[in-house]
A and B are shown apart, each in its own frame.
Chain A
Amino acid sequence: MAEKILMKGNEAIAHGAIRCGADGYFGYPITPQSEVMETLMEEKPWETTGMVVLQAESETSSINMVYGGATTGKKVMTSSSSLGISLMAEGLSYLAGAELPCVVVNVMRGGPGLGTIQPGQADYFQAVKGGGHGDYKMIVLAPASAQDMYDFVGLGFDLAFKYRIPAMILSDGVIGQMMEKVELGEMKPRRTAEEIREQCPWALTGKTSDRNRNIITSLALDPNVQERTNIRLQEKYKAIQENEVRYTTYMVEDAEYLFVAYGSMSRICEAAVDQAREAGYKVGLLRPVTLFPYPEKQICDLVPQLKGILTVEMSAGQMVEDVRLAVNGKVPVEFFGRNGGIVPSPDEVYEAFVKLFNK
């Protein structure tokens, strides 16, 4: 078995990038995710795998460097936190419109505005419902451990290239700053130019005489062409919804009440489940791992056994809307959250459960 190393979630992102064969990282520092670029700079992957690491002059610049890199079929990524992601919104919409694969990491902090540097989960709508303009979606992965941070970089690239879509890793300050054991996987080599030409026939790899030129754009002045793009995008999102839902459960078999939480809050809810079980309440937890595609069917399937659902977030209530859509009024859905950078403790979640369901 591979050696387990103690590292921060942010450091795990950097190691995940190097080891999954990423070609480039472009970023701009911001708390609580600056260790991503710091680690990459320390590891100097340009001397080993040839991966490019570049500090851009702003987040706007980073995301457009990602756009440029992605057009050539390279595995490119960036990372930032909340307000930095807002600056990238235009670029994300362009990437989605041009159907370009990439990985974007958001280690969320409390907002709105400059907000706080403490953890938050209030960028759910931005990530899942589209922070930029137009009918687009990204694959959104929500890590709950440092190991997830490591694993999801590779997974994010795999899914992004499979569907030609941006993939976002939606993390938060807890997961980014926390150190845990991480098992590093095998070092995957970067793809060769030949492999990219073969696997990404759409990419800008230099026109050869045996094919037409490739055009990457998100612009179509003819509305008929633009509508066809939209139809294709929607079909793609439908296929992703059908095939790529990921989630985990904890003690749901006999559960009468369900906590739904993602990322760091799923960890806190796990402890709250233990507390509720000790007090004799049959509570379970469902943790969506993919936020798009959302495990709506999986939540709905649990409805017959449930008396109530408590959604817990570090926000004023965002994902709770998707839980309510999933169960469509068949079971009461309550919400508990703290925001502005406050991380609720397991005790608080348990007490909210007791109060909201009149236990």
Chain B
Amino acid sequence: MLIIPVQFSVGMKKWTKMKVELIIAGFGGQGVLSMGKILAYSGIMQDMEVSWMPSYGPEMRGGTANVTVILSDKKIGSPILGKCDTVIVLNQQSMDKFESYVKPGGLLLYDPNGITRHPQRKDINVCSIDAAEESARMGNLKAFNMIVLGAFLKKNPVVSLESVVKGLQKSLPQRHHHLIPMNEEAIKVGMDKVVDVNVL
């Protein structure tokens, strides 16, 4: 598994001590960058150190986007990674580019919608979440990225749902706060619907 959670308590709260390094990659408009931002804000709510490094170059202008997010209980050195624990892939280009980035024993989470070449590595954990379909079922395509986030948090509970909600309150402007319950619901759907994939 990617991290060994060690329970320790600070004051009244129980927090999990860990470091998580992940890359989220997909199309522009899928909410890749904002999903990373919400995750980073959730980490801050748990008093973790965080970094969020987006792609802002030609790939972004070509329609794909990716972000590197690190959450740690210690000061973060490099905000840029050659290899990482977790890769979340939301389109084929990102699968082609980032499958090799996952450290052995790490996690690759993907939405199979639009994927023609499925993951091939056998030395990593592969999970899928049909977030496009689930968001359509919810009647809210914008819930897509929160469903993916839920799937990730099910597999790696680096931040609690409570912290994510607090993070949303912090990062969203007041006028969008009425959407928070919907986001929470989407995260729960993701947690519920994520499935392990056996790479044959």
Residues of A within 8 A of B (CB): 4, 6, 31-32, 116-118, 173-174, 177-181, 264, 267-268, 270-272, 274, 341, 343, 345-348
- Is B106's CB within 8 Å of the partner chain A? no
A174: chain B residues at CB < 8 Å are: 53, 79-80
A179: chain B residues at CB < 8 Å are: 37, 40, 50-53
CB-CB under 8 A for A177 and B78, given A6-B41, A347-B83 = no
A-B residue pairs in contact (CB < 8 Å), sample of 9: A6-B37, A6-B52, A116-B57, A174-B79, A177-B54, A180-B76, A268-B80, A345-B82, A348-B82
CB-CB under 8 A for A117 and B57, given A268-B78, A268-B80, A346-B78 = yes
Query: Can you name the residue of chain A whose Cβ is closest to the Cβ of B79?
Result: A178
B76: chain A residues at CB < 8 Å are: 180, 267
For this complex, into which size category does the number of interface residues on chain B fall?
20 to 34
- Is B171's CB within 8 Å of the partner chain A? yes
A-B contact count (CB 8 A): 70
Judge whether A341 and B80 touch: CB under 8 Å. Answer: no
A181: chain B residues at CB < 8 Å are: 44, 49-50
A264: chain B residues at CB < 8 Å are: 79-80
The listed residue (A32, A117, A345) touching B80 by CB distance below 8 A is A345
Summarize B's interface: helix, strand, loop or mixed.
mixed
- Is B182's CB within 8 Å of the partner chain A? no
The listed residue (B56, B78, B170) touching A173 by CB distance below 8 A is B56
Additional A-B contact list (5), CB under 8 Å, known A179-B52, A267-B77, A267-B79: A6-B170, A117-B58, A264-B80, A268-B78, A345-B82
A348: chain B residues at CB < 8 Å are: 82
CB distance from A221 to the nearest CB of B (A): 48
CB distance from B97 to the nearest CB of A (A): 14
Judge whether A346 and B77 touch: CB under 8 Å. Answer: yes
Judge whether A117 and B56 touch: CB under 8 Å. Answer: yes
Judge whether A6 and B77 touch: CB under 8 Å. Answer: no
A173: chain B residues at CB < 8 Å are: 56
| Separation of A174 and B54 alpha carbons in the complex (Å) | 9
- Is B81's CB within 8 Å of the partner chain A? yes
Judge whether A346 and B40 touch: CB under 8 Å. Answer: no
| Separation of A163 and B115 alpha carbons in the complex (Å) | 60
CB distance from A126 to the nearest CB of B (A): 22
